[in-house]
Structure formats: structure tokens, C-alpha cells
Amino acid sequence: MIILGIDPGTARMGWGAIKIAKSKKQKVKSKDLELLGYGCVVTDKEDGVGKRLVILRRELKKIIVIHQPEVMVVERLFFGMNARTAISVGQATGVILLTANEHKIPIFEYTPGEVKSATAGSGSADKKQVATMLHILIKIEKKIKHDDEYDAIAVGITHLAHHRS
């Protein structure tokens, strides 16, 4: 099974494609996970919102064609963020949901607390703790430039924790 984890955002959309080698009934171990690819779609802040959303959709379609995910997983909008950020994340999430539905890919959403708990063992873990645990759980070969990439990989692993335990 291939899971595509997404950390939504209009300025930066992190993504991570994870392949799981075991069947659903067996317990997944870190050696069963393969990180097929990861990255961050970055849009120009000088572009209008409409253009940025078109870029996100176009790039997400490319990622879907390359990795052929069976499931997409998105970090759910956190309502404690400021209104401007929430609107931007909501717009990006809408594009992600639309694109997943166009490709008939089931989509799941998890809160930041669920992601932190599933990857680092605590819903109050910080980004550094999550990143450290991800390096233990899955082989990350190239340098990660943006936290959004870690967040996307983490949300993909969260889906495993929720559906394979």
C-alpha cells in the first residue's frame, strides 16, 4: 500500500509518499516502511491566491501520477491558528480534497495532536521530537529543507498507526 501524506498550506505544501510492505493484519515495523519520495511545493508570495492554488493542484497531480497512492492523508486544520493562516490552509486543503476526489483516492484527516501522539508518543511533542522519531521510524535519505516535509511524512505514518494497530 502507498500512502501520500500532505501538510497543507498555500505558501508551502509538504508531501511524503510512504510504501508499506506488510499486509493489513500484520504489525508494521520500521523495516517494512519505505519512503518513496518527499518534498515541498513552494509558491511565490507575490502571486495571487488563485495562481498559487492552481500551482498546488498541478504539482499534486504530478505527485499522484508518479507515486500512485492508494490513500491520501492530510493534517487537519488547527483552529487555534490565526484567521489569516486558517483561511490559507483551508484553501489549500480544499484543493487537496478536490484533487484526491478527481483521482478517486480515499482521503483521511488527522489533527496535529494525533500526528504528534502517533509519531512521537505525546500530543504535546515539538517539531524537533517528531523529526527525531521520524528518522528512527523510516529511512530519510536526503536533507529535509522545510518542516512541512516532516509534517507530511508524520501524517502518513499517523494513518498507519490508526489503521494497522
Set 59, 109, 148, 149: catalytic member: 148
Distance CA 122, CA 114 (A): 9
Active site residue 75: yes
Distance CA 15, CA 124 (A): 22
Active site residue 109: no
Residue ranges of alpha helices (H) inside the chain are 49-67, 83-102, 112-120, 127-137, 147-163
Set 7, 59, 114, 151: catalytic member: 7
Tally: H helices and E strands in the chain: 5, 5
Active site residue 34: no
Dihedral pair phi/psi, residue 61, rounded to 5°? -60, -40
Set 75, 109, 114, 149: catalytic member: 75
Residues labelled catalytic: 7, 75, 148
